[in-house]
Chain A
Amino acid sequence: MKSKLAILMCGAALAATGVQAQDAKMADSMTIVSWGGAYQKSQINAYAEPYKEKHPEVEIVWDESSNEAVAKLRAMNEAGNITWDLVDVVAADAIRLCDEGLAMEYDPDELLAPAPDGTPASEDFGDLIVSDCYIPQIVYSTTFGYRTDMVGDTPPTNICDVFDLEKYPGKRALEKRPINNMEWALLCDGVAKGDVYDVLETEEGQARALAKLDTIKDQVIWWSSGADTPQLLADGEVVMGSTYNGRLFSLIEEQNQPVAMLWDAQVFDLDGWIIPAGLPEERLARVKDFLMFATDTQRLADQAKYISYGPARSSSAPLVGKHAELGIEMAPHMPTDPANAKNTFLYNYTWWADYRDDLDAKFQAWLAQ
C-alpha cells in the first residue's frame, strides 16, 4: 500500500515537474525493482545513496517484486502502462524478457561507463552480457552449506557427498526445480563436466539424472525461496542444503551458526538490470543516467562491502575491500575467489531457455510421484 501510494505521488510529482524541467529532460523519480532483504540493501548503500547525494532532486522508489517481475512486466506491457523504470532480474529471466520483447536492447559501450583504464564496458563485462538486454551487476553462486556439528570428523568436500546417504545421513535441502539439480546428479553419476548438457539433452540422460536424484529423494526437503535453506540449516532440520552463497555468508558470518561452505561444483549465475521496453523519453534518460553511475567500476566494487557477491566487471575485482560492518576481508568470501572456484560449473543459459519447459514438466511429474 505504502509503495503504491509512493508511486502515485511520484506520478503526480512527475506530471507537475514535467512542465517546468523542460531543458533537463530527465524524470525526477524512478521506480527500481529488486529482491528486497540484504541484497536490495546492498544496492541502496552502494548505488542509490551515492547517486542521491549527487542528484538530491531524484526520488527513488523501491519495489520488492523481482520474484514475479517477468509476469508483472508482461501484464504491464499488455496494459500499456509501464510503472517500473529499472528491474533487477537473474540472467535466465532477462533472456526470457528479451525474447518476449519486454526488455529494451542496449549498446554496452554507449550506456555503460568504461573501466578506469579505458577498457570499453563491453570488454570489461565480457561474456557476462548474456543477452542483448542484460546489464549484469554481480556473479553469485548456488552452492551447498552444511552443519559442522552434524557431519562428524570428516566434513564433506565433494559435491557427490550430497548423494552419499551412508557417509552423511540426514536430510538435504534442494531447490524445487530441475536447474542445477539435474547437472549435479549427472556429475555425481560419472558424467564429465564438459558432457553434462550433451547427456542431459537425451531422454536417457534425463532419466539417468532423475534416477540419481531418486536415490536421495526420500531425504530431500525441496525449497522454493532462498531463505528456506538457511532457516533449515539453522534449525538443524537438514544436514546440508543448496542456496545462494550470500545467504550462507550471512548465516555463517553474521549469525554465527555452526555452518560451513562446500564450494565444490558451485554453479555461477548472474544478477543484473534490465530496462523495460517502451519507457517514455524522460524516464529513460533518468534511468540511463543512473545506470552509467551505478554500474561503473567503483560502484560495483562497493556493493561487495555489503554482501558476498562478486562484481560483474573484471576491473572491479581488485577494488573489493572489507565488509562495511564486520570489517572482514570480503575477497575470500566471493564465489569467484580462486580458493573457492577450484571446481565450478557454468550454467548454460541458452540450453536451459530451450529445455526449461520440457524438463520442468518432467521434473515436477517426477516430484509428484
Chain B
Amino acid sequence: MTDATPSTQNGPMLSADGTPLKKSLQIALRRQKIRALMLIAPLLLFVLISFIAPIADMLFRSVENEIVSETLPRTVIALEDWGYDDGKAAPPGEDVYAALYVDLSEAEELKVHTRLGSRLNYETTGMSSLFRKTGRGVGRMDTDIYADQFIALDPRWEDPAAWIALMDAPGISEVLPETASAWSSWQRILVSKNDDIAEEQPEDFLYPMLFRDLVRHPADRVAAYDGPNADMLAAARAAVDGFEAVSLEEQFIDIDKDWASPEIWGTIKAFSSPYTAGYFLSSVDLKLTPAGIEEQPESQQIYMLLFGRTLFMSMVIMGSCILLGYPIAYLLSNLPLRTSNLLLILVLLPFWTSLLVRTSAWKVLLQQQGVINDILVWLGLVADGDRLVMINNQFGTIVAMTHILLPFMILPLYSVMKTIPPSYVRAAKSLGATDWTAFWRVYFPQSVPGIGAGSILVFILSIGYYITPELVGGTTGTFISNRIAYHISSSLNWGLAAALGTILLAVVLVLYWVYDRIVGIDNVSLG
C-alpha cells in the first residue's frame, strides 16, 4: 500500500470534485425535480388559488360558526352554567341578561346583531325579528337612570377624561371587571366610527355595569384601589346602595317576551361554540336542538329524499346514455371516415348549442300542448282530453338530461372503439363464433374502458346538474343541487349549502372508490 491509495477506499465513491457520488447524484436529481416543478408551478399555483382554495374555504363553512361567540362573547360565557333541562329550565339569571345587554349594545352600534339574527333564524323561527327588534330597543331601555344617578353624584362621571384615567389604571379590571369589559366594547365602537375617545361622552351601557360592579363588592375592596380618581369611585361605592335600580331581565322581556323563553336561550347555547355539526345534521334530516340531536319532523324531511333521488336519476341517465350512445359510437367507428366525420359533427352540433336553448326545445316538444302530444292526438293514439304528461316530472328531466349529456358518452366510446382492430372480430368469426359471440366475447370487453370513462363523466356531470332539473323537473324531478343553489342564492344559508355540497362530494368519492374496486380505474380510457 502506498500513500497514493485513497484512504477512503472502503468509504463512499467520490465524484470529480470530491463530494460523495451519491450526494452529487442527489443534488443533480433535486435540481431536475425543481426545474420540473418550476415548469408546472404556474399551473399548480393557478389551480391552488382559483380552485382548491375556494373549494376548501366553501367546505370549511359547513362547520364554521364563529358568529355567535364573536357577536355575543360575554353572553356565551355567562350561559355556560345555565342548563336547558328539556325546556323546563327557568330563564337564566340577571348576570346573563347583563352580559347580553353589553353584547347587544356593542353589536347594535357595529350593526352586526341582525346578521346574528338571520343566522340563528335558520335554527329557530323568530330569531330574526327578535334580534332586529331588540337591537332597536336596547338603546331605549330605562338603564339611562344609572348614568343620571352617577352624574348627579359627581359630574366627573360624565367626563371622558375621568373615565379614561380610571379605566387606564393598573388593576382596574379586578376592581371593576364588568365595567372594564364594557369599556373595551366602547373603545371598539369608537374605533369603528373613527371617533376620538377623549371627546365622546361615555355611552349609557357603561353605567349599569359600573353599578353592578360596585354593588357586588364590599366597600373595603373598592377602598383598596388607590389609582387616579379613587375618591370618585369610593364616593360612588358609598352611594350605589341607595340608587334606584332596574332589572335588565325585565327590560329585555319588555322588548320581547321571547327573551323569557328557554327555547331562545337554549338555541343560543346550542350554537355558541365556534364550530358546529348543526349544518351537517340538517343536511341529513336531523336537527341540533337545545335538548340534543333530534330527527326533523317528517313534514320537513327532504334532503335524504333528494340525495337518493339525485343518485337514482343520475344512474338512470347514465344507463340511458350507454344504451343510446353505444350503438351510435359503434356505427361511427365502423363507417368510412368521410361519413363518420359528418355524423360526428351531428353528435357535436347540440354540444355547441346553448344549454338553455336545448332545454327549452324539450319543453316545446314534450309539453301537453306540445309537438309530440299534438302528433299523437292527430294520429288518434291519444284522446285530446288526456294528453300525456311528459314534462315537469322525472321523465322530462331524464329525457332532457340524457340528450344533453349524450356527447359525453359517445365521444370516449368512439375514441376507444376506434382503436379496436377489426381483425379481432374477423378472427373470432373465422374460428366459428357467431356474430353475437364475436361481439360479446371479443369486441365488447375491449370497449369496456370507453364505457367506464363515459359513465364516470356522465354520472359526475349529472349529479351536480341543476339548470335542467330546475326548468323541466317540476316537483318530482329536482335534484339536490337545486336546493344547494337555493341556499346559496336565496336563503343565504351558505353553511347548509356547504354541508350539502361536502356530502355530495363525499358520495362521489365513495362511488369512485367502489367503481375502482369493482371495475378498476386502470380500466378506464378516453382513447
Q: Report which A residues bind B (CB closer than 8 A).
A: 67-68, 70-71, 74, 96, 98-101, 105, 171, 207, 210, 221-222, 224, 235-237, 350, 353-358, 360-362, 364-369
Contacts and interface: CB of A to CB of B under 8 A. Distances in A.
A353 B489 CA distance: 16
Contacts of B305: 365, 368-369
Which 10 A-B pairs rank lowest in CB-CB distance, beginning with the nearest?
A99-B114, A365-B302, A71-B489, A358-B125, A367-B475, A68-B489, A361-B300, A354-B129, A236-B369, A354-B126
Contacts of A360: 486, 491
Contacts of B121: 353-354, 357
A350 B125 CA distance: 12
Contact of A237 (B118, B368, B488, B491): B368
Interface in B473-497: 474-476, 478, 483, 486, 488-494
A238 to B, nearest CB: 9
B299 interface: yes
B125 A357 contact: yes
B392 interface: yes
B492 A71 contact: yes
Given A222-B474, A353-B128, A100 B369 contact: no
8 contacts: A171-B368, A236-B369, A237-B367, A237-B368, A237-B369, A357-B121, A357-B125, A365-B299
Interface string B124-150: 011111001000000000000000000
A364 B491 CA distance: 13
Contacts of A222: 392, 474-475
B115 A99 contact: yes
Most buried by A among B118, B125, B129, B299: B299
B511 to A, nearest CB: 23
A357 B122 contact: yes
Given A357-B125, A364-B302, A365-B300, A100 B118 contact: yes
Contacts of A221: 392, 474
B111 interface: yes
A362 B300 CA distance: 5
A350 B127 CA distance: 11
B478 A70 contact: no
A70 B493 CA distance: 11
Nearest to A351: B129
B369 A357 contact: no
Interface of B: 111-112, 114-115, 117-118, 121-122, 125-129, 132, 299-302, 305-306, 309, 367-370, 392, 470, 474-476, 478, 483, 486, 488-494
A364 B492 CA distance: 16
Contacts of A365: 299-302, 305
Contacts of B493: 357
Contacts of A366: 299
B489 A99 contact: no
A312 to B, nearest CB: 22
Contacts of B309: 368
Contacts of A68: 489
Contacts of B488: 71
Given A99-B114, A100-B118, A237-B367, A368 B475 contact: yes
A235 B369 CA distance: 7
B302 A353 contact: no
Contacts of A355: 125
B489 A101 contact: no
Nearest to B475: A367
B369 A70 contact: no
B240 to A, nearest CB: 37
A222 B474 CA distance: 6
Contacts of B111: 101, 105
Most buried by B among A99, A356, A365: A99
A101 to B, nearest CB: 5
Contacts of B301: 365
B125 A364 contact: no
Nearest to A358: B125
Given A100-B118, A224-B470, A356-B491, 12 more contacts: A70-B490, A96-B492, A99-B132, A101-B111, A105-B111, A354-B128, A355-B125, A360-B486, A362-B299, A368-B306, A368-B309, A368-B478
A228 to B, nearest CB: 9
A98 B118 CA distance: 11
B442 to A, nearest CB: 46
A354 B125 contact: yes
A364 B489 CA distance: 16
Contacts of A237: 367-369
B302 A99 contact: no
B387 to A, nearest CB: 10
B114 to A, nearest CB: 4
B66 to A, nearest CB: 14
